[in-house]
Amino acid sequence: MAKKENLDISALEKIINFDFKNKGLLKEALTHRSYLNENTKWELPNNERFEFLGDAVLELSVTEQLFFEYPDYPEGKLTSIRAALVNYLMMAHVAKEINLGKFILLSRGESQDNGRAKEVILANALEALIGAIYLDQGKEPAFEFIKSFVMPNLEEVMAKKLYKDPKSLLQEIIQEKEKVTPNYEVVSELGPDHNKVFKVAVFAGKNRLAEGAGPSKQEAEVEAARKALQNMGESD
């Protein structure tokens, strides 16, 4: 992650093919809340307001493109496709493609974090970047950015049916292949009641497909289904 002294925003502008008129907008989009805790003299606020704006611009842009791309699809299916395109994992994937993490201003602690927290930071920064583009030059350039960097993932979403939740997709595949319905069993419950972690296994008949963990049985089941799909080559 970037430090103030080596933040080269021109390199990011080249990657995204967008020249900011107001460079301060881009810098603000790259400023994570944690950075301000260690750099109190930094002249800009954190990027959360830009993230709020960018999220709305992103949703409108994707909605508009899906509306015209699939004129025969009902509202419910369009909503599911949109959700798959703009969830935090997909946004983090797009952020990685443009190497956004290299430019985000973070605290030392946050810069060393990995896992879900890092993915969320990347996703939020991408939305903040979209918000900054919108503020700098308006709707059309922001929509063009989304068309160039977010919408190419539509093909994967449709091909892998990522718009279906993992449990529904796994059930569809297992019923078609094996004529049985997947069933879920709680393997263990760890931790106190207020911070419990459930481990769940998913089966097709007697065949154990995968295990998943989560703070609730439902979330553990979803994770187990997701891992089963990965094991079957049905998902990344």
Please give the CATH topology (third level) of the domain spanning 166-231.
Answer: Double Stranded RNA Binding Domain (3.30.160)
- How confident is the model over 73-125, as pLDDT tens digits? 999 889 989 988 998 889 999 999 999 999 999 988 777 666 667 888 999 99
Based on the residue annotation, tell me whether 144 is a catalytic residue of this protein.
no
pLDDT over 70, % of the chain? 94
> Active site includes 28?
no
Predicted local distance difference test score (pLDDT) of residue 113: 65
Q: Is 124 annotated as a binding residue?
A: yes
Report which residue type is found at 84. A
Q: Is the per-residue pLDDT at 2 higher than 70?
A: no
Tell me what pLDDT residue 55 has: 96
Q: Residue 232 is which amino acid?
A: M
What is the DSSP annotation of 125-136? HHHHHHHHHHHH
pLDDT at 185: 96
Q: How confident is the model at residue 202, as a pLDDT?
A: 96
* pLDDT score of 191: 81
Q: Give me the residue spans of the domains in the chain.
A: 4-159, 166-231
Count of C-beta atoms within a 10 Å radius of residue 74:
8
What are 185's strand-pairing partners? Answer: 201
Catalytic residue among 28, 110, 127, 136: 127
Fold (topology level) of 4-159: Ribonuclease iii, N-terminal Endonuclease Domain; Chain A (1.10.1520)
Q: Active site residue: 55, 110, 221, 223, which one?
A: 55
User: What's the count of helices (H) and strands (E) in the chain, helices before strands?
Assistant: 12, 3
**Is residue 18 scored above 80 in pLDDT?**
yes
Confidence label for 4 from pLDDT (cuts 50, 70 and 90): low
- Indicate the pTM of the whole model: 0.76
- State the Cα–Cα distance between residues 138 and 135, nearest whole angstrom: 6
